[in-house]
Amino acid sequence: MLAYPAALLNLDLIILDPLPNAPSKQVLNHSEHLSGSFTDAQAIAELASKVDILTVEIEHINTDALEAARSSSGGRSVDVQPAPSTLRTIQDKFLQKQWLEAKSIPVAPFQSVDGTESAILAAGKQLGYPFMLKTRKLAYDGRGNFVVRSQEDAQEALKALGCGNGEKETLYAEKWVPFTKEVAVMVVRGKNGEVRSYPPVETIHRNSICHLVFAPLRATDQGVLQRAKEMAEKAVATFEGAGVFGVEMFLTSDGSLSINEIAPRPHNSGHYTIEACECSQYENHLRAILGLPLGSTKLKVPSAVMVNLLGPPAVDEVANNALHIPGATVHLYGKAESRPGRKMGHVTIVGSSDAEVRARVRPLLLQLGHPQDPSYGEISKAKGGDFGSGSGPKKSSKYPLVGIIMGSDSDLPVMRDAATILDGFGIEYELTIVSAHRTPERLVNYANSAASRGLRVIIAGAGGAAHLPGMVASMTSLPVIGVPVRGSSLDGVDSLYSIVQMPRGIPVATVAINNSTNAGLLAARIIGTSIPPLLERVSAYSKRLENEVMGKVSKLEEVGWEAYVVKK
Amino acid sequence: MLAYPAALLNLDLIILDPLPNAPSKQVLNHSEHLSGSFTDAQAIAELASKVDILTVEIEHINTDALEAARSSSGGRSVDVQPAPSTLRTIQDKFLQKQWLEAKSIPVAPFQSVDGTESAILAAGKQLGYPFMLKTRKLAYDGRGNFVVRSQEDAQEALKALGCGNGEKETLYAEKWVPFTKEVAVMVVRGKNGEVRSYPPVETIHRNSICHLVFAPLRATDQGVLQRAKEMAEKAVATFEGAGVFGVEMFLTSDGSLSINEIAPRPHNSGHYTIEACECSQYENHLRAILGLPLGSTKLKVPSAVMVNLLGPPAVDEVANNALHIPGATVHLYGKAESRPGRKMGHVTIVGSSDAEVRARVRPLLLQLGHPQDPSYGEISKAKGGDFGSGSGPKKSSKYPLVGIIMGSDSDLPVMRDAATILDGFGIEYELTIVSAHRTPERLVNYANSAASRGLRVIIAGAGGAAHLPGMVASMTSLPVIGVPVRGSSLDGVDSLYSIVQMPRGIPVATVAINNSTNAGLLAARIIGTSIPPLLERVSAYSKRLENEVMGKVSKLEEVGWEAYVVKK
* CATH number (domain holding residue B21): 3.40.50.20
Query: Residue A144: its pLDDT value, please?
Result: 84
Considering the domain architecture, whether residues B372 and B253 belong to the same structural domain is answered as yes
The yes-or-no verdict on residue A389 having pLDDT over 80 is no
Q: What CA–CA distance (Å, rounded) separates A164 from A150?
A: 18
Considering the domain architecture, whether residues B506 and B434 belong to the same structural domain is answered as yes
Q: How confident is the model at residue A77 (pLDDT cuts 50, 70, 90)?
A: confident
Considering the domain architecture, whether residues B363 and B406 belong to the same structural domain is answered as no
Residue A9 sits at the chain B interface (C-beta within 8 Å): yes
Considering the domain architecture, whether residues A23 and A46 belong to the same structural domain is answered as yes
The yes-or-no verdict on residue A442 having pLDDT over 70 is yes
Considering the domain architecture, whether residues A202 and A290 belong to the same structural domain is answered as yes
Distance from CA of B28 to the nearest CA of A (A): 5
Task: With respect to residue B268, please indicate whether it lies within any of the assigned structural domains.
Answer: yes
Residues 509-548 of A with CB under 8 A from B: 509-513, 515, 517-519, 521-522, 525-530, 532-533, 535-536, 538-539, 541-542, 545
Task: With respect to residue A267, please indicate whether it lies within any of the assigned structural domains.
Answer: yes
Here the ipTM equals: 0.92
Chain A contacts of B8, Cβ < 8 Å? 329-332
Considering the domain architecture, whether residues A139 and A162 belong to the same structural domain is answered as yes
Task: With respect to residue A293, please indicate whether it lies within any of the assigned structural domains.
Answer: yes
Query: Residue B381: its pLDDT value, please?
Result: 47
Task: With respect to residue B293, please indicate whether it lies within any of the assigned structural domains.
Answer: yes
Query: Residue B536: its pLDDT value, please?
Result: 92
Q: What CA–CA distance (Å, rounded) separates A479 from B528?
A: 9
**B300/A301 touch (CB, cutoff 8 Å), yes or no:** yes
CB B180 within 8 A of CB B251: yes
Domain span including residue B452: 402-530
Chain B contacts of A275, Cβ < 8 Å? 300
Considering the domain architecture, whether residues B370 and B408 belong to the same structural domain is answered as no
Residues 40-99 of B with CB under 8 A from A: none
Query: Helices (DSSP H) in B17-74: which residue ranges?
Result: 23-26, 41-50, 63-71
Any idea what the Cα angle at residue B174 is, between residues B172 and B176, rounded to 5°? 155
Q: What CA–CA distance (Å, rounded) separates A175 from A38?
A: 32
Q: Of B350, B496, B507, which has the smallest distance from its Cβ to A500's Cβ?
A: B496
* Dihedral sign for Cα atoms in the order A425, A430, A436, A441: negative
Residue of A229, A352, A516, A518 best to disrupt the B interface, most CBs of B under 10 A: A518
Considering the domain architecture, whether residues B358 and B432 belong to the same structural domain is answered as no
Query: Residue A25: its pLDDT value, please?
Result: 84
Q: What φ, ψ does residue B71 adopt, rounded to 5°?
A: -110, 20
User: Nearest CA to A483 among B63, B504, B58, B377?
Assistant: B504
- Number of domains, chain B: 4
Model pLDDT for residues A15-39, shown as the tens digit of each residue: 999 988 888 888 887 778 999 999 9
Residues 448-467 of A with CB under 8 A from B: 451, 456-457
Ranges A125-134, A227-236, B86-95, B130-139: which has the least confidence:
B130-139
Considering the domain architecture, whether residues B237 and B371 belong to the same structural domain is answered as yes
Considering the domain architecture, whether residues B158 and B185 belong to the same structural domain is answered as no
Model pLDDT for residues A304-343, shown as the tens digit of each residue: 999 999 887 678 889 999 999 999 999 999 887 878 888 9
Considering the domain architecture, whether residues B233 and B372 belong to the same structural domain is answered as yes
Model pLDDT for residues A256-275, shown as the tens digit of each residue: 999 999 999 999 999 999 99
Task: With respect to residue A358, please indicate whether it lies within any of the assigned structural domains.
Answer: yes
Task: With respect to residue B549, please indicate whether it lies within any of the assigned structural domains.
Answer: no
Chain B contacts of A280, Cβ < 8 Å? none
Task: With respect to residue B89, please indicate whether it lies within any of the assigned structural domains.
Answer: no
What integer is the mean pLDDT of A426-438? Answer: 94
Residue at a domain's end among B154, B175, B196: B175
User: Nearest CA to B10 among B345, B294, B272, B292?
Assistant: B292
**A512/B501 touch (CB, cutoff 8 Å), yes or no:** yes
Q: What CA–CA distance (Å, rounded) separates A308 from A331?
A: 9
Residue B327 sits at the chain A interface (C-beta within 8 Å): yes
Q: How confident is the model at residue A369 (pLDDT cuts 50, 70, 90)?
A: confident
Query: Residue A408: its pLDDT value, please?
Result: 93
> How confident is the prediction along chain B (568 residues), in pLDDT tens digits per residue?
999 999 999 999 999 999 888 888 888 877 789 999 999 999 999 999 999 999 999 999 999 999 999 887 667 889 999 999 999 999 999 999 999 999 999 999 999 998 888 999 999 999 999 999 999 988 777 788 899 999 999 888 888 887 655 555 689 999 999 999 999 999 999 999 999 999 999 999 988 888 999 999 999 888 999 999 999 999 999 999 999 999 999 999 999 999 999 999 999 999 999 999 999 999 999 999 999 999 999 999 999 999 999 887 678 889 999 999 999 999 999 887 878 888 999 999 999 999 999 999 999 988 887 554 444 545 544 443 333 444 556 788 889 999 999 999 999 999 999 999 999 999 999 999 999 999 999 999 999 999 999 999 999 999 999 999 999 999 999 999 999 999 888 999 999 999 999 999 999 999 999 999 999 999 999 999 999 889 999 999 999 999 999 999 999 999 999 999 988 7
The yes-or-no verdict on residue A49 having pLDDT over 50 is yes
Query: Residue A387: its pLDDT value, please?
Result: 36
User: Nearest CA to B536 among B386, B353, B413, B330?
Assistant: B386
Kindly report the average pLDDT of chain A as a whole number.
91
**A504/B513 touch (CB, cutoff 8 Å), yes or no:** no
Complete DSSP assignment for A125-142: HHH-SSEEEEESSS--TT
Considering the domain architecture, whether residues A244 and A330 belong to the same structural domain is answered as yes
Residue A30 sits at the chain B interface (C-beta within 8 Å): yes
